[in-house]
Amino acid sequence: MASAAVIAKRYFSALEARDLDAAVACWREGATDRVAGRGALAAPGELRGYFAELFEAFPDLSFELIDTTTQRERCSVRWHASGTFAGPGRFHGLAPNGAVIAIEGCELLEVLDDQIVAGTTYLDGAGIARQLQLLPGFGTGGSRWLAGLANTRTALDRALHAAEPEAVAAGVWVIRGGLAREMNVFLIEDEGAVTVFDSGPRPMSPAIRAAAARFGGIRRVVLSHADCDHRGGAVGLSAEVYCHPRERSAAQSPSAFRDYWNLGLLSAWRRPLYERLLAQWDGGPLVVGGTLDEGDAVAGFEVLHLAGHAPGLIGLYRRSDGLALVSDLLCTIDPRFGLPSAPRLPHAAFNLDIDLARESVGRLAALAPSVVWPGHGRPLSGAGVRAALDRLADARR
């Protein structure tokens, strides 16, 4: 029985000789070669078609095996290829333009019973594109133009979806998302990484992930509740999700709609707008790894159960500095126009029980927090925090 290195050299010798019959004969039928930038190619038909296209597009294409590294049934092959894009065949739909390419690549082959049973091919796709004149060379005016275009798109994404994180207290940052920066997501320092408190709507996910990477990555995601504008981004964060027990079923539901919502309370023009936004904000059902309830500890904060807006709404309170992150217990933004407002409860169309929500505001007021960050809008701070909370708790609908 031949070694993996022998079979690998036999395969590349066939490619060097442009003998497709001998090359595909080295592969077991149905085995696949995963080519970077192209996908899986099944032997013999798809593999033969791939190389036939290459040889038609690059009639002088040549392969050279540089070296091999073998361990039991696996052989890593480093190779060099060069040729002229002279045609008559096309390459990925491109007409031949006479460009000359010279590339190096690596293929990891797995051999069993004298045949290749799996392969993975790595090559420099960007380098090939530059040599084919599809991308500008490094340091050229064209590359600077492309960089500028990419930077413009990045700036536009930030403008549309999320700003840079800003520090709000020791070890706590907020990422404000949405066109009016009305969505708040918090990063809390947590044993060399961060706990993400709320995840905002789905479009905020990339910005949250990037910001968290600067602080050591995401340890976990804690949802204040499972409304789509708070759970939506979690699907893209690849971290374990926690919520209150009474929010688990909603977090795991495929529906973006909560069964106690009453969109009929919205004005006629806002109702279809919110129906469209719900679909844009939501990221779909989540896998809940654990639950949190009143008195539990999260990254130096105490969990508060603040039911009313949602049955399992939770906030986080840090006694050392009086910082309270309370999500949709209250908001400081007018939802009609996206403008700052005095502290208010969320719109009645989205509340489970307004009286219960006011009771929860009263419980928070009794703690005398120094700073209160809502899920939407700017924080309450300064000497008037307790009075503002008391007024909201005592207000009549």
Task: Return the percent helix, strand and coil in the chain, to nearest 5.
Answer: 30, 30, 35
CATH assignment of the domain containing 54: 3.10.450.50
Provide the mean pLDDT of the chain.
91
Residues 25 and 72 in one domain: yes
Q: How many distinct structural domains can be found in the chain? A: 2
| Digit-coded pLDDT (tens) for 173-193 | 999 987 677 899 999 999 999
As a whole number of angstroms, the distance between CA 214 and CA 272 comes to: 38
Residues 126 and 164 in one domain: no
CATH assignment of the domain containing 342: 3.60.15.10
% residues pLDDT > 70 (the chain): 95
Residue 342 lies in a domain: yes
Task: Compute and round to an integer the Cα radius of gyration of the chain.
Answer: 29
Residues 221 and 129 in one domain: no
Task: Tell me the whole-structure pTM to 2 decimals.
Answer: 0.73
Residues 294 and 331 in one domain: yes
Residues 103 and 216 in one domain: no
Residue 96 lies in a domain: yes
Q: Is the pLDDT of residue 163 over 50?
A: yes
Residues 353 and 242 in one domain: yes
Residues 126 and 165 in one domain: no
Residue 150 lies in a domain: no
Containing 11, the helix (H) or strand (E) segment is helix 4-16
Residues 125 and 215 in one domain: no
282 Rama class: left (phi>0) / alpha (psi -120 to 50) / beta: beta
Residues 176 and 302 in one domain: yes
Q: Is the pLDDT of residue 160 over 70?
A: no
When pLDDT is averaged across residues 147-166 and rounded to a whole number, the result is 72
Residues 108 and 172 in one domain: no
Q: What is the pLDDT of residue 271?
A: 87
Residues 98 and 166 in one domain: no
CB count in 10 Å sphere of residue 394: 11
Domain containing 346: what range?
155-394
pLDDT band at 321 (very low <50, low <70, confident <90, very high): very high
Q: Specify whether the CB–CB gap between 318 and 302 falls below 8 A.
A: yes
Domain end among 135, 163, 186: 135
Residue 324 lies in a domain: yes
Residues 115 and 87 in one domain: yes
Whether the bond into 335 is cis, omega within 30 of 0: no
* Token duo for residue 363: 């419980």
